[in-house]
Copies of this chain bind each other. A is one copy, B any other.
Amino acid sequence: MRLSLEPSLDASDYRFVHRVRPRFAETDAMGIIHHGAYPVYLEEARAALIAAAGHPYTAVRRDGVDFAVLELYVRHRRPLHFDDPVDLHLAVGAVTRTTFQVAYLLTVGGETRATAVTVHGAVDGAGRPARLPGWVAEVDGTG
């Protein structure tokens, strides 16, 4: 297990925020957002983060690099509901030559709903491990 970041519950510890509105299609018969939707929200927020850093994902992929998901951890504290204004707070950390991690805090109206961590590895077009582009270390989301 490479996963090492511990997501802070304090939104001010994060430097990037992205809002998602859960879709009705993502609700389940318990009346809440199904946990299977969270990895997709995390990915959308991550793509927004690297785009905001000047590296749209389509450009990254055109350069022959992909950021494979190596590990994913989500802790559900309170459920999300349809159309909640969900703020995903992101911070990049634990950057190595080939991997990086992202910590996430999900809040609605300032109230904590979930935390998460993902670990990513750079891979080339054939899916082989590759060196992380230098700019990733700059997208630290924490300063």
Interface residues of A (CB under 8 A from B): 1, 3, 23-25, 27-32, 34-36, 38-40, 43-44, 47, 56-58, 61, 66, 68-76, 79, 82-83, 127
Cβ contacts under 8 Å, A40 to chain B: 23, 25, 36
| Nearest Cβ on chain B to A63's Cβ, whole angstroms | 14
Tell me the bound Cα distance from A29 to B24 in angstroms: 8
Cβ contacts under 8 Å, A127 to chain B: 30, 32, 79
Cβ contacts under 8 Å, A68 to chain B: 30, 76
What is the interface of chain A mostly: helix, strand, loop, or mixed?
A: mixed
- Taking a contact as CB atoms under 8 Å apart, the answer to whether B73 and A72 are in contact is yes
Cβ-neighbour of A69 out of B66, B71, B76, B83 (below 8 A): B76
Tell me the bound Cα distance from A72 to B70 in angstroms: 14
Cβ contacts under 8 Å, A28 to chain B: 24-25, 27-29
Cβ contacts under 8 Å, A44 to chain B: 23-24
| Nearest Cβ on chain B to A42's Cβ, whole angstroms | 9
- Taking a contact as CB atoms under 8 Å apart, the answer to whether B29 and A36 are in contact is no
- Taking a contact as CB atoms under 8 Å apart, the answer to whether A39 and B35 are in contact is yes
